[in-house]
Amino acid sequence: MRLPEYLSLRQFAGLAGISRQAAWKACQHQIWRGKALIIEALEGQRGGRSGVTYRVKISSLPVELQERLKRTSNATQIKLPAPAPGQGSEEMLWWLHHLKPVLAMPEDTPERAEAIDALVGTVVLDWQNRQKRLTRSTIYRKLQELDSPTGMVALKRGGRADKGRARVLISREWDEAVPFDGATRQKIADNLTLQLRAYQAQRANRKIALILAGKWLREQTEAYGFRPNDPDIMERICRVPARLFQREAAYQTVYDYTSDRDRFDNNLPRVKRTIAGMRPMELVVADVHPVDVRIERPDGTVGSSRLMAFMDLATRRVWCELLMVEKAGGVRNTDVIKALVAMFQDEAWGVPEQLYFDNGSEYLCGDYLDDAHKLACTSLVDQKRRSRIIRAQPYNASAKPIEAWFHRFEGDHLRHVQGWHGGKLGAPKRPARGKLPAPFKGGFDAFWEVFKGHLRAYEAIPQNGQLEGDSPAGRFAKFVKSGWSATVMAPENLLTIFTKTETRIVKQHGISVDGRKWSCRELDGYFGRTVTVKVPTLGFGFNELWIGDEFENQIGIAVPDIERAYNDTRQAKHSADRKRTTAAATRAMRDELPHVDIGVEILALGSGLPIPANAPSGKVSVSRTNAPKRAIVPEHQPKKTLKQQQDEQRALQETLNSISLHKRNSA
């Protein structure tokens, strides 16, 4: 395509990406960005205030603009199509059809003005078959939308070339004042953004952050060489807009992550859970919660209680035990164990298949509950599971539905009980300024009865959500009707859970555990040296012990020995009974044995052994004087001298040597 020789003022502004006013000034000064322009002034062409408009010679434009003009001309050349159904925008095609006589005339010429005058006031049917009167302002607006920098016509108005990029890097004042090149400006703007993000990451006050950011921008601007003489100018252009700071508000999450984990956790993504297909007691969630009711003790003091709750997720029933807090302390493992034992023996609850525990110290007893599940395995599924105890992630309260139940039960029920203070001991609910709510009268037992009444009411109220309009009691009744039954724990089996196995030495048919002597009828008839004992490990009182042999086969249940006075006949009778049991067990052992006379068997062993012949290797002859004598009477001999002793030793040695020589010669 052959390019025109001149560009109109509007075409020049569009090609250069500047406003019409900036293009007008460039034409007046005949220079743009240091490049001289060849300008042709046209008078009487509906130009500016003086009736003068300008045209720019294309050959005088900078090379980059000429290349841009060639590329856009090749890319945007479009013929004026006739309006046809289904082709492009009906409105645009309609305007192209009716403005075709105007577009055929050069821009800013009398011929185009005459064509526009001919259209003004014309009434035509628009693209929706409605009458439309063409006005001068509408015609000029549509011409502006359809005119391209090259004089070609586009079917629709294009978007901005810099769409998606900020037209102002920091502020208009700073952008227009600093003499830096584009790369330097962008670098400073990017570093300022990082600085503002760092302020947001510490949740800095907006006013303080903007002051600090302005100080930083001033230092950076001066560091790059721009130092105006007037300090007020620097103060004005380095004022950071609040929108830049607010734009980086997302980085406040960094502060939440490092310093306010509760706020951060509340915004974490959650996984939706369902109870579809779950059975009663398939999963029970346990937790401990302070009860926000002040209770008056019998002595007039005021205390509070702790709630140990176990929620059956399938029915949303809640097993509860209350503990009155005395002076200091909280819920112990012993208290949780007692609540669990009571639930295990309740026919409507029984032993859960899985328990979902917190990580608190009061739940250390959970490590021993697998034994309980093994004892109640007749109705449980998936027996190969390693552990039936699930530990919650630390500080992950939202994962436990029972946490929401605590809040709902407090708001719907307990706040109607006298003494409720709202859960904030530092700022409790007050009936009047300076007054605390009156405590609950009647003591802990009376409050426990009121609490159980509210719990029964909760289970009778229908719930939306996962219960789908059923009440907890109603949902449980459906499961019972369909054949579900609890797996309860027998009392004797409780002796094997919450314990650790130890070895004890049996002395006099008894053992020593916890500083006490223990025995039982089975142990009186046990003659092994050691036994295995299931010893409770969590500090609560116990009066029965499971006793087994070295292979942990049960022997019996031992109880502590009772100490009685010497004149108490019950002690003598008990001692006699134990002795008879031991004697009877001994006789039973004796009756099982064959008759054996070990003395006779030893003599038979000795007489039956032959003595092998062993000829002597030599004979020693001894000369005896006074042979008939059978005894030698010792007589007192005088003490021998040293020479006499040496002579006797020499004679003895010669005798031994002669005997040895004789034996060798004989051989």
Residues 326-337 have pLDDT tens digits of 766 677 777 777
CA geometry: angle at 187 spanning 206 and 222, to 5°? Answer: 75
Report, in this order, helix, strand and coil percent for the chain, each rounded to 5.
45, 15, 40
In sequence order, the β-bridge partners of residue 43 are: 52
Q: Are 547 and 531 in contact (CB under 8 A)?
A: yes
Q: Any idea which residue has 């240091």 for tokens?
A: 34
The whole-number pLDDT of residue 213 equals 92
The DSSP call for residue 547 is E
Question: CA–CA separation, 1 vs 17, rounded Å?
Answer: 23
Residues of the chain with pLDDT under 70: 1-4, 43-51, 71-89, 129, 146-166, 327-329, 358-399, 423-434, 491-498, 537-541, 608-639, 662-663, 665-667
Q: How many helices (H) and strands (E) does the chain have?
A: 23, 18
Q: HSE on the CB side for 551, CA within 13 Å?
A: 1
Ramachandran region, residue 442 (left: φ > 0; alpha: ψ -120 to 50; beta: rest): left
Listed in order, strand segments (DSSP E) in 549-616 are 554-560
pTM to 2 decimal places: 0.50
Helix (H) or strand (E) holding 513: strand 511-513
Rounded Cα–Cα distance for residues 16 and 71 (Å): 14
As to burial, measured by CB atoms within 10 angstroms (0-12 exposed, 13-18 middle, 19+ buried), residue 237 is buried
What per-residue confidence (pLDDT) applies to 75? 41
- Phi, psi values for residue 498, rounded to 5°: 55, 35
Q: Are 174 and 238 in contact (CB under 8 A)?
A: yes
CA–CA gap between residue 380 and residue 487 (Å, rounded): 9
Residue 484: how many other CB atoms lie within 10 Å: 15
Residue 654's pLDDT is: 81
**Residue showing tokens 């070295």:** 550
pLDDT at res. 199: 92
The pLDDT assigned to 62 comes to 82
Please name the residue that has the structure tokens 């490990």. Answer: 537
Per-residue tokens: 526: 């046990």
Instruction: Report the candidate in 40, 37, 5 with the shortest Cα–Cα distance to residue 18.
Output: 37
Which pLDDT score, from 0 to 100, does residue 597 have? 80
CB neighbour list of residue 543: distance below 8 Å, 6 or more residues apart = 559, 560
- Residue 661 φ then ψ, to 5°: -65, -40
Q: Which two tokens stand for residue 286?
A: 């346990």
- The token pair at 112 is 């185009």
Angle at 352 between CA 346 and CA 353, to 5 degrees: 150
- The SS3 of residue 492 is helix
Identify the three-state secondary structure at position 356: strand
Which pLDDT belongs to residue 88?
41
> What is the predicted pLDDT for the residue at 56?
83
